[in-house]
Amino acid sequence: MKQAAALFDLDGVIVETAHFHYIAWKAIAQQLNFDLTPAHNEALKGVSRVASLQQLIRWSGTTISSDTFEHYLEEKNKHYLELIKQLNPADALPGVVDTLSLLKENKIGIALGSASKNARSILERLAITSFFDAIIDGNDVQNSKPDPEVFLKGAEAVGVAPSNCVVFEDAQAGIAAAQAAGMYAVGIGTPEVLDKADRCIPHFNALTPQVLLNLFER
């Protein structure tokens, strides 16, 4: 097997945290007199915390001071951290742990490429940190997806050329980021939403071990 790497998005690929983000953002939206719906939340997937609040403010049609902006960011994250305390190893999405194990056995590099600044504590809660050769998260990048920075940094950290990397992503912005980095993008979700992905699967159990390994032999 040639030198290759798998780069994983976190939220929506390794674990489902969108509902926790939703509850926490909805509470902030209420203070902006705005009713955040699940459809709004869909558009926030993969979007950084600051950019998400900027979007909320645009939707609400209000303006706030920079102090209030900072206060809302803190309040949202405090609430979110409280909610994710309930995460445990059983919350890793179907097939994730088997996939990580198979990649490890086959000496394929493994990196995280997430917009979340809470990525490390979530991996700890799921007890899967040790699988990762590199963790690139919201603390390490200047530019959010669809910018390729997070995945290019992941490839560099594991010492693999972008063309030999496969990205697993659940958000359109993340698929665009992977492709802008010159990587093969596997969408986790539905082809209607992730129509630009090079391949789309509903979850990791949909890939047999051989099909998974073949992705790295393109």
Q: Which residues are catalytic?
A: 9, 11
Q: Does 47 bind ligand B16 (CB under 6 A)?
A: yes
Q: Does 12 bind Mg ion (CB under 5 A)?
A: yes
Q: Does 10 bind ligand B16 (CB under 6 A)?
A: yes
DSSP secondary structure letters along 33-82: T----HHHHHHTTT--HHHHHHHHHHHHT----HHHHHHHHHHHHHHHHH
Q: Does 9 bind Mg ion (CB under 5 A)?
A: yes
Q: How far is the CB of 31 from ligand B16 (least distance, A)?
A: 17
Candidate ranges 23-31, 42-50, 52-60, 61-69; the one touching Mg ion (CB under 5 A): 42-50
Residue 185 contacts which entry, Mg ion, ligand B16, none (Cβ below 5-8 A, type-dependent): none
Residue 149 contacts which entry, Mg ion, ligand B16, none (Cβ below 5-8 A, type-dependent): none
Is residue 94 within 8 A of residue 203, CB to CB? The reply is yes
Candidate ranges 3-11, 53-61, 62-70, 159-167; the one touching ligand B16 (CB under 6 A): 3-11
What is the dihedral sign for C-alpha 3, 109, 209, 204?
negative
Q: Does 137 bind Mg ion (CB under 5 A)?
A: no
Residues 164-183 that bind Mg ion (CB under 5 A): 170-171
Q: Does 11 bind Mg ion (CB under 5 A)?
A: yes
Q: Does 144 bind ligand B16 (CB under 6 A)?
A: no
Task: CB nearer to ligand B16: give 138 or 182.
Answer: 138
Positions that interact with ligand B16 (CB under 6 A): 9-12, 21, 44-49, 52, 77, 114-118, 138, 171
